[in-house]
Amino acid sequence: MYHNWLDRWDERRARRGEEEKETTDFVLDAERAFPGVKEVISLEAFCDFANQAVVDLAFFDEPSGSDQGFQKQDGWLRFPSGISTDVDENNVVWAKTTESGSFDQVVVVFHHWNATSRNRQITKFFSRRGITVVEIAMPYHFERQRPGSSHADYMLSANLGRTIQSVRQAVWDGRKLLRWLRSEGYREISVLGMSLGSWVAGLIAAHDPAVSKASLFLTAGSLADMVWTGRATRAIRDSLEPAIGLTDLRRAWAPLNMEKYAHRLARPDLDLHVVLAKRDKVVLPELSERFMHGLKVAGARPNILYLNCGHYSLARPPYILLAGLSLKRFLSATAKSAR
């Protein structure tokens, strides 16, 4: 009975989020995804460039590698993004810092798609336990929101190229922040990602050896499959479906598929923590399980917590408390790199 009520609660929450989303045009926009390429007018050519990006070890490396331009004031960090877009607000990265008074450990938080507020409970809980928390704004979120938009429609959309650019920008921004934190003296750096934020956190952990721990909430490997099957992205699928099928979408968004980087996430000096919802209609459990299987085959041993709730109801007691305690134990444990 309780779980039937919980499912209905999740569905009502999903419908509220759906009200502001509209179908849009399907666009390749390869120049955004793969800077320097000539005009691409065919899906097949786009997919060829996507395949090249998967094997390009530097695709998620910011060319300049700069940690300059940081401004710190009253618990806030501001710095220029390594990718310049046509939305000025999006070109400046904002991050809220809650310091713990210790440089032993810091965790960088990447929130879910269309997040409207940062999480004071998480920051207070961990900062009081000696872990500094930095909540970064992903592209088109919070202070980086596109003027006039009702949600972060440029972060994830039927524009294939802009979606790749946005996730790549989020990874570059996160890695730039990690370099700065390292230069400030933080000894252990962890990342925490929630839903769409888990893709960003996971890609950073896969490509940046500075990350010693990665906690991924409500995650899977294939972003294409999540968008195609998920309850929160029906408007995007409706926009995509007249022009592209799931098989081609997987090829086009291959650089954003964490299954492609399972071997990197299995590196011996990285600890992985995963929280999954058994009743999730946004990130389907079968997609999560496929990703977990791929990680294990690659040699990773993720610490997995399964909760009998939905995507949105994870934020409700008792599930959020169980997830929080599991995360606390994970972050408090000795990292592999120190063992």
Structural domains in the chain plus CATH codes: 2-57+71-338 (3.40.50.1820)
Of 221, 321, 330, the C-alpha closest to 272 is: 330
Q: What is the pLDDT of residues 233-251, one digit of tens each?
A: 999 999 999 999 999 999 9
Alpha helices in 185-312 (DSSP H): 196-207, 223-229, 234-240, 246-252, 262-265, 285-298
Residue 178 in this model has a pLDDT that exceeds 70: yes
The whole-number average pLDDT for the span 240-267 is 98
Residue 269 in this model has a pLDDT that exceeds 80: yes
CA dihedral 108, 200, 265, 283 (to 10 degrees): 110
- Distance in angstroms (rounded) separating the CA atoms of residues 288 and 299: 17
Residue 307 in this model has a pLDDT that exceeds 60: yes
Residue 338 in this model has a pLDDT that exceeds 60: no
Residue 48 in this model has a pLDDT that exceeds 90: yes
Residue 41 backbone dihedrals phi, psi, to 5 degrees? -115, -5
* The pLDDT of residue 224: 98
Q: Is 51 exposed, middle or buried (0-12, 13-18, 19+ CB in 10 A)?
A: middle
Q: Per the confidence metrics, is the pTM higher than 0.75?
A: yes
- Distance in angstroms (rounded) separating the CA atoms of residues 166 and 164: 5
What amino acid occupies position 261? Y
* The pLDDT of residue 339: 42
Q: Write down the mean pLDDT value for the chain.
A: 94
Q: What is the pLDDT of residues 118-147, one digit of tens each?
A: 988 889 999 999 999 999 999 999 999 999
Residue 64 in this model has a pLDDT that exceeds 80: no
